């Protein structure tokens, strides 16, 4: 029997980031005092500084950006979910450096007239890269504001001439256990490879982007390098990382969290404060970086993007299609 590890309710993780940061400066201090280097498995602030020297991207601004203050680069790159590198929030920042992100192509196939391989270099140079500052709401009831660099998914799919009868897009993450330790962990946390899906109108919506960067630079590995999906009105787990395949399909594609816990995670996964997770409330959220004494924020329908996306779900019972 496979045993899956579910995300834990918010109360159990309130101090995890603070602990992580304290542990970091503690270890850095120790290294300085003893003259030894910090343990190699451990990402110190020098590693973050290195990331900051990453390739700069030329971006244009977007009218879709929120005016809320973005989280710090450190928040966005050290508090992550990327189970291929461990189930803890600091695991991706510590472990994802093992991932090779070049060469990298996405297979685009299924119900398209013009299937092909999309090279990451083409994605970075042949498309307009927009800065999109989006709210990001995780199912575990925390949130951030993230300045992504992305390309509307619709612009990319257009190149492949999607057939009229296609109804969904199925996405797949890289399967490479040699570089992704979580994929060979004895405690199987999720079925691999990680998969996700969108209905066609969701995929073609102008808010849906393929993100190739954040804070004006190429994506750090822990955030899903070199290319990941971002769907700002859905829980974070819909935003699949390190994508290697996009397939147009007639049938609703499987999704990893739904396979792991069908009672807890549906296909749609729209942010909806009136539909609680079976084990915790979705009414409020904790903004990362706001401090442990900050007031929780009320979660907004569709994560605040209702004006743009509510019409996609008209006539659907969102308690049934959660």
Ligand X SMILES: Nc1nc2c(c(=O)[nH]1)N[C@H]1C(S)=C(S)[C@@H](COP(=O)(O)O)O[C@H]1N2
Residues that bind Mo ion (CB under 5 A): 81, 138-139, 236-237
Task: For residues 43 and 230, give the distance between their C-alpha atoms in angstroms, rounded to a whole number.
Answer: 25
Can residue 282 be called a binding residue for ligand X (CB under 6 A)? no
Which range of residues in 79-87, 106-114, 153-161, 280-288 is near ligand X by CB under 6 A? 79-87
Pick from ligand X, Mo ion, none: which does 240 bind, CB < 5 to 8 A by kind?
A: ligand X
Question: Which residue has the closest beta carbon to ligand X?
Answer: 236
Task: For residues 86 and 243, give the distance between their C-alpha atoms in angstroms, rounded to a whole number.
Answer: 18
Using the Cα atoms of residue 145, residue 318, residue 153 and residue 48 in order, give the sign of their dihedral: positive
Residues 84-103 that bind ligand X (CB under 6 A): 84
Taking the complex as a whole, the smallest distance from the CB of residue 147 to ligand X amounts, in Å, to 12
Annotate 37-76 with b (16+ C-beta within 10 A) or e (fewer): ebeeebbbeebbeebeebeebebeebebbbeeebbebbbb
Can residue 192 be called a binding residue for ligand X (CB under 6 A)? no
Task: For residues 306 and 302, give the distance between their C-alpha atoms in angstroms, rounded to a whole number.
Answer: 5
Residues 193-212 that bind ligand X (CB under 6 A): 194
Taking the complex as a whole, the smallest distance from the CB of residue 158 to Mo ion amounts, in Å, to 29
Can residue 236 be called a binding residue for ligand X (CB under 6 A)? yes
Q: Which among 229, 227, 210 has a CA at the least distance from the CA of 218?
A: 227
Can residue 237 be called a binding residue for ligand X (CB under 6 A)? yes
For ligand X, the binding residue among 80, 90, 143, 183 (CB under 6 A) is: 80
Task: For residues 154 and 180, give the distance between their C-alpha atoms in angstroms, rounded to a whole number.
Answer: 29
Can residue 258 be called a binding residue for ligand X (CB under 6 A)? no
- For Mo ion, the closer CB: 62 or 239: 239
For ligand X, the binding residue among 93, 99, 120, 240 (CB under 6 A) is: 240
For ligand X, the binding residue among 83, 104, 171, 302 (CB under 6 A) is: 83
- Helix, strand, coil shares of the chain, percent, nearest 5, are 30, 25, 50
- For Mo ion, the closer CB: 24 or 234: 234
Pick from Mo ion, ligand X, none: which does 239 bind, CB < 5 to 8 A by kind?
A: ligand X
Taking the complex as a whole, the smallest distance from the CB of residue 67 to ligand X amounts, in Å, to 20
Pick from Mo ion, ligand X, none: which does 173 bind, CB < 5 to 8 A by kind?
A: ligand X
Pick from ligand X, Mo ion, none: which does 59 bind, CB < 5 to 8 A by kind?
A: none
Pick from Mo ion, ligand X, none: which does 245 bind, CB < 5 to 8 A by kind?
A: none
Contact 126, 136 (CB under 8 A): no
Number of residues near ligand X (by CB under 6 A): 16
3-state secondary structure 258-307: HHHCCCCCCCCCECCCCCCECCECCCEEEECCCCCCCCCEECCHHHHCHH
Q: Give the pairing type, strands 195-199 and 168-173.
A: antiparallel
For ligand X, the binding residue among 62, 173, 258, 282 (CB under 6 A) is: 173
Task: For residues 139 and 86, give the distance between their C-alpha atoms in angstroms, rounded to a whole number.
Answer: 18
Task: For residues 151 and 131, give the distance between their C-alpha atoms in angstroms, rounded to a whole number.
Answer: 9
- For ligand X, the closer CB: 43 or 111: 43
Taking the complex as a whole, the smallest distance from the CB of residue 273 to ligand X amounts, in Å, to 17
Task: For residues 127 and 151, give the distance between their C-alpha atoms in angstroms, rounded to a whole number.
Answer: 7
Taking the complex as a whole, the smallest distance from the CB of residue 300 to ligand X amounts, in Å, to 17
* Residue 193: other Cβ atoms inside 10 A: 19
Strand partners for 169: 198, 248
Interface with ligand X by CB under 6 A: which residues? 80-84, 138, 173, 194, 223-224, 236-237, 239-242
């Amino acid at each position: 029997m496979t045993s899956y590890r579910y995300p834990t309710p918010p109360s159990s993780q309130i101090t995890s980031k603070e602990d992580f940061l304290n542990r970091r400066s503690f270890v850095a201090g120790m290294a300085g005092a003893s003259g030894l280097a910090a343990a190699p498995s451990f990402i110190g602030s020098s590693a973050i500084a290195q990331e900051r020297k990453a390739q700069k991207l030329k971006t244009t601004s977007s009218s879709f950006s929120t005016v809320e203050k973005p989280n710090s680069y450190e928040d966005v790159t050290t508090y992550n979910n990327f189970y291929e590198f461990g189930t803890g929030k600091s695991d991706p920042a510590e472990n994802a450096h093992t991932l090779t992100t070049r060469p990298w192509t996405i297979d685009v196939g299924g119900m398209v007239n013009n299937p092909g391989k999309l090279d990451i270099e083409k994605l970075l140079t042949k498309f307009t890269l927009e800065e999109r500052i989006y709210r990001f709401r995780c199912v575990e009831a925390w949130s951030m504001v993230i300045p992504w660099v992305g390309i509307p998914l619709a612009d990319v799919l257009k190149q492949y001439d999607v057939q009229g009868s296609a109804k969904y897009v199925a996405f797949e993450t890289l399967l490479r256990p040699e570089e992704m330790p979580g994929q060979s962990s004895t405690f199987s946390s999720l079925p691999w490879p990680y998969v996700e899906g969108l209905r066609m109108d969701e995929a073609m919506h102008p808010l849906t982007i393929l993100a190739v960067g954040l804070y004006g630079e190429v994506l750090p590995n822990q955030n899903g390098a070199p290319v990941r999906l971002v769907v700002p009105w859905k829980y974070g787990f819909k935003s699949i990382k390190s994508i290697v395949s996009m397939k147009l399909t007639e049938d609703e594609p499987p999704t990893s969290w739904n396979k792991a816990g069908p009672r807890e995670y549906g296909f749609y996964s729209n942010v909806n404060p009136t539909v609680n997770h079976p084990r915790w409330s979705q009414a409020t959220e904790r903004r990362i970086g706001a401090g442990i004494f900050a007031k929780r924020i009320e979660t907004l329908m569709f994560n605040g993007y209702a004006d743009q996306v509510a019409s996609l779900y008209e006539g659907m019972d969102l308690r049934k299609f959660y």
